Amino acid sequence: MEIDVKSLHPLEIKVLLHVKESEQITAKRIISELGYKLGQCNQAFSWLAAKELISESDRINRRQYELTELGKAFNKIGFPAERMFNLLKEYGSLSLPKIAEMLGLDKSDVGSAFGKLSKQGIFGMNAEKMAEIREKILPPDILAARELVMRAVQGPLEEEQLTEDEKKVLQGISKKRGAAGAPFRLAEREEIIYALTPAGTGISKILKEKNITGEELGAVTQDMLADGSWKDKSFRSYSLNSPPSRVLLGRRNPYGEYLQWVKDKLASLGFEEFDGPLVENEFWNGDALFMPQFHSARDIHDVYYVKNPSHAKEIDQPYLDQVAATHENGWDTGSRGWGYEFDRDFTRRQVMRSQGTVLSAKQLPKAKIPGKYFGIARCFRYDQVDATHGADFYQTEGIVLGEDVNLRTLLGLLKMFAEEVAGAEEVKYVPGYFPFTEPSIEVHIKHPVLGWFELGGSGIFRPEVTKALGVDVPVLAWGLGIDRMALMHLGLNDLRELFTPDIESVRMRRGK
Amino acid sequence: MPKIEVLTKTFYQNIGRTYTDEQLEEILPSAKAELDGKDEEAGILKIELNDTNRPDLWSSAGLVRQLRTYTGKKPLFYDFFSNADEEFEYGNRIIEVDPNLKDIRPYITAFAVTGKKIDDTVLKDIIQTQEKLCWNFGRKRRSIAMGVYRNDLISYPVKYTAADPDTTKFIPLLMDQELSLREINEQHPKGKEFGHIVSGFPLFPFLTDSEGQVLSFPPVINSAHIGAVQVDDSELFIELTGTVHKDLILAASIVACDFADAGFTILPVKVVYPYETEFGKEVVTPYYFQEPASAELAYINKLLGMELSPDEAVNALKRMGVFAIYDNGTIFATVPEYRNDFLHPVDIIEDVMIGHGMEKFAPVMLDSFTFGRLTGEEEFSRKVKDVMIGLGFQEMMYNYLGSRKDYITKMNVDGSEYIQIANPMTENYEFVRASIIPSMMQSESVSGNAVYPHAIFEVGKVAFLDDDDNSGSVTRNTLGFLSADSDVGFNQISSTVSAVMFYLNKEYTLKELDDPKFIPGRCAVIVSEGRQVGVFGEVHPAVLENWGIQMPSVVCEIDLDLLMKDG
């Protein structure tokens, strides 16, 4: 394994520098010789072992006396006998029940401690049946126990390092299996003994060569800056390649970002944005676009009907009369119309907007000439939801009005979109069909990644559409299928993903 | 869009030459068609037709007809069309119509074909034509239904009657016993599919011959005898019934032309009505009713951005199968028998465009100067998004349709402001969202595994009922945001709201709110410039439980359209 010495932690470095080849490396040794805490020792060993700089050479069982919770408490407040001794020292003499009450101990514990120390001649009972002290100091075994407890607070006591006397004391105050509370517990632990590997020896050499001691400074602290303690010291080099931790940040949804890019693009090309409500009526959604009310052309726009209220109160005049007449007999548009009786009830029926062209139609009565408009509109279709169909989705649509616009400027417009919005190199135009445009053109482009595909549909609005809405100049109408490019941009292949509620997948998503 | 299948071999035979797929793809646009796929083994091409106003193209014969003229072959002439001035010989082939049909299914057109044996290819083509015409053009048989019969078994005159649905019985195709018309509607697969078209009437359409032999129960099913056409039949009777006379006659013309192209002789049939129709009481079909169409050459050139000569325009139309002449600045076109899509001069212009060849139109850049501009709402939204991102929130985007369960039930609200869809496909998309909050709750409910803290927002639209509006509802641009973590609470979201309002330059005050989706006393209404622009608070654990969310959440929603308005 290739090891970068910069990736080593000071705890590791010091161990590597400290031990020599073939020496035993144990926790005990490192704790005593390098002043590590046990936890630091364990960390250093496990890191070094993972890097194969040290390896296990042996395992031994260690017997240790460690403090129980009771033992830790004794360390803080003293042994019962010790506390009784100190209490009597202060008060002279007290009854046993009084002692128990003052120290918050069980009467039986007080009784047994008194009995034990009375035998050793430390305590005695006076004529008033009150306990009192007979010696100036506590007996050696209690003093020894007290000292052992204080030592054990620093860490467990290794059996092999104890004197015979100490062992004897400890055996008396250690918890036996099933026995009542005692300050110590005897634990058996397996300890691993490590040794440097050849790689470890190698790294150790490199460390020495580079004069890395493990004493280099880590993080710059406020204190360091305040007291100047950083001066004359070197800073530890950090590993450049350790994996950075994750940052959660605020950011755009990449699909929204893409739509915004398209909007900015269109605005930069001189288009003014329009928008409108989600709920429409049949008038704007179909009738105004010269789609006959009962013709199969409406089958391709299977729409969602609104239940409440099912009909709009009224349709704007004079457009209702003009559109109705256009459907019936062509009105003043030069058309013969569809030749059926226009249903003025049906036209008020409310639907969820099914095509972005609705907004284009609604813009016509208020449009400037010359004028260029666009909108990215959420639309709704009665469709089985799958990877290529959503219940609601965005459509990008717009119009260009002008005395001089014609088929060839339409092709120019499409070429501009192909190049500016899709980054296409090649463009192909084929006749298309839309109920509201004539002629109609589909634009196919050769996308650098996706190959040939249909970028959008377009055409010149039928005069039945424009004249009935008060516009006398030709109007180019266009729509761009940008979702396919958006999916590619986002590395997705399922339309449903664009509106996923899954937070993690949106966090991880990014544009190309 | 209709899709058809054609036998590759016959198709190319009829066009008069073979094309590679690439070559075919180059000429198909002249019919607004595209190659949708092919089945090499079965020798079939699958073709999609995009023009819903050109039902004549939805058959092998019709497509061949278009491609032949487009590639320079002579158009075929049809000499069996009667018109207002001239009737072709119909012999004894007469249909008598019952006056009771006037309000049920008033029109019928028919003709017979002879002169050739029906082979498998023709039979398949007939069935395909019938399907496409009646489904797409005939609105699923409502306005047009077609039946084909063995002509040699029929004794004329044929009677188109209105029959009692319960006492009238016959053996329909695919069955071996007599059923009443009503029983057919209830039991026969075609009855279940199409019976609803007539089931509301007291009497049903019924077609018999002069001897009472049953032809069919239009628009549902043929009889098992006269109505069972087979390979090797040599004379067929074809009828179409429906509600729109012109469409019906056009559909019959299309089918007749297809048979004529396949080499059959067309035998006209006379229909005698007891009531007036647009084309009189007696109509001999196939019948040519189309009016001539015209367009000024100057208009053609203006709209196409070209300077086509009269000859170029006339020739372009010829390639589209449209005979035209030029006279004194105007192109006059004779509409082909099988078409009725010339409503306006622009329809001629499109045919000129296609016939002239798309490749001859060079793109021209627009030169008019216009101001590009975003809506005020869009600009405000962007400001809001910038603030939210600065506050550490991830932008989300959601669907606008959802279920009652998600939008209303789980939120513990009554949902009285929600717009409901009358014809939902599934209950999953039955309501329009009136609030962003359920969308964000849904996010939280599916994102328990995403690293916390969660901080998400959306700027999107909601729509809700509003009696004052003409449509009874309004759409609003709205900001929603949610934070979820072990230590979120009212104070935290109140700080966020405060930051948002500060950087949007809006003063606000808070008012107490009583809303079951929030914990009482830990939610508020945001009031700015006298308007209630939003709400926020700690989501009630009962709502979190409904969503299966195990993390404390706070949420806020602000109506941006209200907020951006100046006091």
- What is the CB neighbour count within 10 angstroms for residue A234? 12
Beta bridge partners of A175: A185
Say if CB A123 and CB A132 are below 8 A apart: yes
Range A213-221 average pLDDT: 87
CA-closest candidate to residue A461, choices A377, A409, A401: A401
> Does B85 reside within a domain?
no
In chain A, what is the greatest distance between 2 CA atoms, to the nearest angstrom?
135
Q: What is the CA radius of gyration of chain A?
A: 45
For residues B419 and B467, give the distance between their C-alpha atoms in angstroms, rounded to a whole number: 12
Put simply, whether A404 touches B (Cβ < 8 Å) is: yes
Range B514-543 average pLDDT: 96
CB within 8 A of B97, min separation 6: which ones? B106, B108, B160, B271, B272, B273, B274, B275
For residues B145 and B99, give the distance between their C-alpha atoms in angstroms, rounded to a whole number: 20
Residue B89 has pLDDT above 60, yes or no: yes
Put simply, whether B35 touches A (Cβ < 8 Å) is: no
Provide ipTM, 2 decimals.
Answer: 0.91
Q: What is the CA radius of gyration of chain B?
A: 33
Put simply, whether A385 touches B (Cβ < 8 Å) is: yes
Whether residues B544 and B395 share a domain: the answer is yes
Q: B154 — phi, psi (to 5°)?
A: -95, 135
- What is the CB neighbour count within 10 angstroms for residue A141? 16
CA-closest candidate to residue B524, choices B551, B560, B545, B555: B555
Whether residues B40 and B12 share a domain: the answer is yes
Segment B186-235, tens digit of pLDDT: 999 999 999 999 999 999 999 999 999 999 999 999 999 998 888 888 89
Whether residues B262 and B161 share a domain: the answer is yes
Structure tokens at B360: 């001859």
Does residue B6 sit in helix, strand or coil? strand
Whether residues B280 and B304 share a domain: the answer is no
Residue A175 has pLDDT above 80, yes or no: no
Domain boundary among B360, B384, B407: B360
CA-CA-CA-CA torsion sign (B50, B54, B58, B62): negative
Whether residues B348 and B380 share a domain: the answer is no
The domain spans of chain A are 5-53+197-227, 69-188, 256-508
Quote helix, strand, coil % in chain A, to nearest 5.
40, 20, 35
- Residues of the domain holding B352: 293-360
CA distance A108 to chain B (A): 49
Architecture (CATH level 2) of domain A256-508 = 2-Layer Sandwich (3.30)
CA A89 to each of CA A82, A86, A94, A135: distance values in angstroms, whole numbers, following the listed order: 10, 5, 10, 10
Residue A488 has pLDDT above 90, yes or no: no
Q: For residue B34, give the CATH number of its domain.
A: 3.30.56.10
Does residue A476 sit in helix, strand or coil? strand
Say if CB B146 and CB B251 are below 8 A apart: yes
B52 to A384: CB separation less than 8 angstroms, yes or no: no
Q: Is A91 exposed, middle or buried (0-12, 13-18, 19+ CB in 10 A)?
A: middle
Segment A322-372, tens digit of pLDDT: 999 999 999 999 999 998 899 999 999 999 998 899 999 999 999 999 999
Range B469-497 average pLDDT: 96
Give the pLDDT band of residue B502 (cuts 50, 70, 90): very high
B325 or A183, higher pLDDT: B325
Query: Total structural domains in chain B?
Result: 4
* pLDDT for residue B168: 93
Put simply, whether A508 touches B (Cβ < 8 Å) is: no
Structure tokens at A477: 């109408």
Segment B423-442, tens digit of pLDDT: 888 899 999 999 999 999 99
Q: What is the 3-state secondary structure (H, E, C) of A404-458?
A: CCCHHHHHHHHHHHHHHCCCCCEEEEEECCECCEEEEEEEEEEECCCEEEEEEEE
Segment B487-499, tens digit of pLDDT: 999 999 999 999 9
Alpha helices in A20-68 (DSSP H): 27-34, 38-50
Whether residues B50 and B151 share a domain: the answer is no
Q: Which residues of chain B neighbour A433 with C-beta distances below 8 Å?
A: 32, 50-54
Range B497-519 average pLDDT: 96
Of A268, A294, A432, the CB nearest to B50: A432
CA-closest candidate to residue A173, choices A123, A113, A110, A115: A113
**How many C-alpha atoms does A395 have within 13 Å on its Cβ side?**
23
CA distance B212 to chain A (A): 35
Chain A 51-70, residues with CB within 8 Å of chain B CB atoms: none
Residue A450 has pLDDT above 60, yes or no: yes
A267 to B369: CB separation less than 8 angstroms, yes or no: no
For residues B105 and B250, give the distance between their C-alpha atoms in angstroms, rounded to a whole number: 17
* pLDDT for residue A188: 82
The beta-carbon contacts of B325-329 under 8 Å, at least 24 apart in sequence, are: B326/B297, B329/B296, B329/B297, B329/B298
* pLDDT for residue A301: 54
Whole-number mean pLDDT of chain A? 88
Of B32, B447, B475, the CB nearest to A277: B475
CA-CA-CA-CA torsion sign (B11, B17, B19, B24): negative
CA distance B169 to chain A (A): 33
Structure tokens at B180: 């009443």
* pLDDT for residue A381: 87
CATH ID of A69-188, from 1.10.10.60, 3.40.50.970, 1.10.300.10, 1.10.10.10:
1.10.10.10
Whether residues B391 and B257 share a domain: the answer is no
Residue B340 has pLDDT above 60, yes or no: yes
For residues A275 and A359, give the distance between their C-alpha atoms in angstroms, rounded to a whole number: 7
> Does B368 reside within a domain?
no
Whether residues B166 and B233 share a domain: the answer is yes
Give the pLDDT band of residue A299 (cuts 50, 70, 90): low
Whether residues B275 and B307 share a domain: the answer is no
Chain B 230-259, residues with CB within 8 Å of chain A CB atoms: 246
Beta bridge partners of A475: A401
Beta bridge partners of A477: A399, A459
Chain B 79-118, residues with CB within 8 Å of chain A CB atoms: none
Domain boundary among B224, B255, B285: B285
For residues A457 and A443, give the distance between their C-alpha atoms in angstroms, rounded to a whole number: 6
Whether residues B122 and B138 share a domain: the answer is yes
Of B1, B422, B451, the CB nearest to A248: B451
Question: What b/e sequence results for B162-174 when a residue is b if at least 16 CB atoms lie within 10 Å of its CB, and e otherwise?
Answer: bbebeebbbebee
CA-closest candidate to residue A186, choices A134, A148, A241, A223: A148
Segment A47-95, tens digit of pLDDT: 999 999 999 888 888 788 888 888 888 888 888 888 888 888 888 888 8
Beta bridge partners of A153: none
Closest Cα in chain A to B375: A273
Closest Cα in chain B to A334: B344
A416 to B365: CB separation less than 8 angstroms, yes or no: yes
Q: B138 — phi, psi (to 5°)?
A: -95, 15
Of A337, A391, A438, the CB nearest to B350: A438
Put simply, whether A313 touches B (Cβ < 8 Å) is: yes
Does residue B517 sit in helix, strand or coil? coil
Of A271, A411, A439, the CB nearest to B363: A411
A438 to B453: CB separation less than 8 angstroms, yes or no: no
* pLDDT for residue A296: 58
Segment A244-263, tens digit of pLDDT: 999 999 999 999 999 999 99
Q: For residue B151, give the CATH number of its domain.
A: 3.50.40.10
CA-closest candidate to residue A72, choices A131, A156, A177: A156
Range B43-62 average pLDDT: 91
Whether residues B453 and B538 share a domain: the answer is yes
Domain boundary among B330, B360, B390: B360
Say if CB A198 and CB A3 are below 8 A apart: no
B429 to A338: CB separation less than 8 angstroms, yes or no: no
> Does B82 reside within a domain?
no
Q: What is the 3-state secondary structure (H, E, C) of B25-37?
A: HHHHHHHCEEEEE
Q: Which residues of chain B neighbour A272 with C-beta distances below 8 Å?
A: 370-373
Q: B352 — phi, psi (to 5°)?
A: -60, -45
Closest Cα in chain A to B472: A309
Put simply, whether B42 touches A (Cβ < 8 Å) is: no
Structure tokens at B399: 């669907």
> Does B77 reside within a domain?
no
Structure tokens at A195: 């040794």
Range A224-242 average pLDDT: 87
Give the pLDDT band of residue A96 (cuts 50, 70, 90): confident
Put simply, whether B298 touches A (Cβ < 8 Å) is: no
Question: What b/e sequence results for A244-257 when a residue is b if at least 16 CB atoms lie within 10 Å of its CB, and e otherwise?
Answer: eeeeeebbbbbbbb
DSSP secondary structure string for all residues of B89-139: --TT-EEEE-GGGGGT--EEEEEEEESS---HHHHHHHHHHHHHIIIIITT
Q: Which residues of chain B neighbour A335 with C-beta distances below 8 Å?
A: 343-344
CA angle in degrees (0–180, nearest 5) for A209-A214-A217: 115
